[in-house]
Amino acid sequence: MAWVQTVSASSGLASSLTPSITVTAGNSLIVEWRVGGGADATVSASVDGTFGSAEASGNDGGGVNVGHHILRNVTAGTQTITVTRSGSGAMDCLVHEYTPLGVRDAVSVVNTGFSGTASSASITPTNGGGQALAFVINTAGATHSAWGSGFTERSDFAGVANLALADLVPSGTSAISASATLSASGFWSAWAVSYKSAARKIILART
């Protein structure tokens, strides 16, 4: 499993965001979002339909809701991702494409704070391999750096708020937590999730 690409979208007070992404068949899409005004978001794809419920969601303590959704086994081609808010407030989202992700293994609560360092609660994978993701969102206009615990940053987007994603491949069953340094102090949210390796299909040819 590996990160492929990320696309972004941001708005003032529009009720939805509609970024487009061209994907490879069978891959997975992760949509990371934030909505001001204490509103939540729903997510759908133009070809593959509605994403499931948010795998994680929370509020940063400053009136901003955050979360992420996943869609597996996508159809090849260009898909428009629609992120719709339930209330008012500015929105941002990132759409991340990964090679196929398996079932969710562990997910943390959404940690929040007001400081210059964001850190997630820990997760404990049940086996090595797979993929662990760390999400950090801040409303201070701050960039993210110095990710801890071996995480590699994949995206650091500056919209109405700043959204970032980092990942790593767990080496075993030890607890994992993520942290990142912010370039300015402010409200932040951080959480982590791990996915097992996707099941492989083995086709036997009859001879």
| Structural domain range at position 183 | 3-197
Cα end-to-end distance, the chain, whole Å: 32
Specify which of 57-66, 99-108, 120-129 reaches the highest per-range mean pLDDT.
99-108
Asked whether residue 116 is assigned to any structural domain, the reply reads yes
Asked whether residue 181 is assigned to any structural domain, the reply reads yes
Number of folded domains that form the chain: 1
Sort 173 into a burial class: Cβ within 10 Å, 0-12 / 13-18 / 19+: exposed
Say whether pLDDT at 184 is over 60.
Answer: yes
Q: What is the pLDDT of residue 165?
A: 98
Reference 114, options 32, 35, 59; nearest CA is 59
Q: Which region among 9-13, 50-54, 171-175 has the lowest average model confidence (pLDDT)? A: 9-13
Asked whether residue 86 is assigned to any structural domain, the reply reads yes
Q: What is the pLDDT of residue 87?
A: 81
Asked whether residue 203 is assigned to any structural domain, the reply reads no
- Residue 40 carries which DSSP code? -
Express each pLDDT in 103-124 by its tens digit. 999 999 999 999 999 999 999 9
Alpha-carbon gap, residue 98 to 138, rounded angstroms: 23
Q: What is the pLDDT of residue 13?
A: 82
Q: What is the pLDDT of residue 201?
A: 47
Instruction: Give me the helices (H) in the chain, please.
Output: none
Express each pLDDT in 11-25 by its tens digit. 878 899 999 999 999
Express each pLDDT in 73-90 by its tens digit. 999 999 999 999 988 889
Residues 6+ apart with CB under 8 A from 205: none
Mean per-residue pLDDT of the chain? 92
Q: What is the pLDDT of residue 38?
A: 82
Asked whether residue 127 is assigned to any structural domain, the reply reads yes
Asked whether residue 205 is assigned to any structural domain, the reply reads no
